[in-house]
């Protein structure tokens, strides 16, 4: 059975694969992050407390979701599992200045930290397994990008 057919037959895989964005054969993490942007736009319309609550729930659910998807596929941290990119990007965008340029800046910053994996992200990526490991490296990358976004926002907006 093809991966796409497997993904679209299970709500767990559909969510873990970012509604199918993780099925892109090249740079699935980048496409997963792009797919998170429309949901960010919607979330950004709500008060900050609600945004934070959704991000927290998405992170907690993501631990189970990504772990279960990986287990069912028999591949730890399959590259198509991009729910972690969704949540990492949403963390990056917490209290971000409004505007398309800031979404672009947040996207670039998150992708840089997610790909570069500075300390301790590379350790987490290597040593922490299961759904928690799949999520944690992207959550930390999101926090790093969030800090840079807030500094840039303070000085530039």
Q: Mind listing the pLDDT tens digit for each residue in 36-70?
A: 999 999 999 999 999 999 999 999 999 999 999 99
* Spatial separation of the C-alpha atoms in residues 119 and 34, rounded to whole Å: 25
User: What are the φ/ψ torsions at residue 31 (nearest 5 degrees)?
Assistant: -70, -35
Average pLDDT over residues 72-81: 91
Q: Shortest CA distance to 4 belongs to which of 12, 76, 14?
A: 14
Q: What pLDDT shows up at residue 126?
A: 87
Q: Shortest CA distance to 138 belongs to which of 65, 62, 71?
A: 62
Domain count, the chain: 1
Q: How far apart are the first and last CA of the chain?
A: 50
pLDDT at 76 > cutoff 90: no
Task: Give the pLDDT band (50/70/90) at residue 121.
Answer: confident
State the angle between helix axes of 130-156 and 100-116 in degrees (0 to 180), rounded to the nearest 10. 140
Task: Residue 56: give the domain boundaries.
Answer: 3-156
pTM of the model: 0.96
* Spatial separation of the C-alpha atoms in residues 41 and 136, rounded to whole Å: 23
Residue listed under structure tokens 């998170």: 36
The model's pLDDT over 143-153, given as tens digits with 9 standing for 90+, comes to 999 999 999 99
Q: What pLDDT shows up at residue 17?
A: 96
Q: What pLDDT shows up at residue 94?
A: 98
* Spatial separation of the C-alpha atoms in residues 131 and 77, rounded to whole Å: 8
């Amino acid at each position: 059975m093809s991966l796409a057919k497997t993904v679209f037959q299970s709500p767990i895989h559909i969510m873990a694969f970012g509604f199918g964005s993780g099925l892109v054969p090249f740079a699935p993490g980048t496409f997963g992050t792009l797919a998170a942007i429309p949901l960010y736009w919607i979330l950004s319309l709500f008060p900050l407390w609600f945004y934070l609550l959704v991000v927290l729930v998405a992170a907690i659910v993501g631990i189970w979701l990504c772990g279960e998807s990986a287990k069912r596929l028999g591949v730890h941290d399959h590259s198509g599992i991009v729910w972690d990119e969704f949540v990492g990007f949403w963390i990056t965008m917490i209290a971000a200045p409004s505007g398309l340029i800031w979404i672009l800046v947040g996207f670039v910053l998150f992708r840089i930290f997610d790909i570069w994996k500075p300390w301790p992200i590379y350790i987490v990526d290597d040593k922490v397994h299961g759904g928690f490991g799949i999520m944690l490296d992207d959550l930390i990358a999101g926090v790093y990008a969030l800090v840079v976004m807030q500094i840039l926002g303070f000085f530039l907006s």
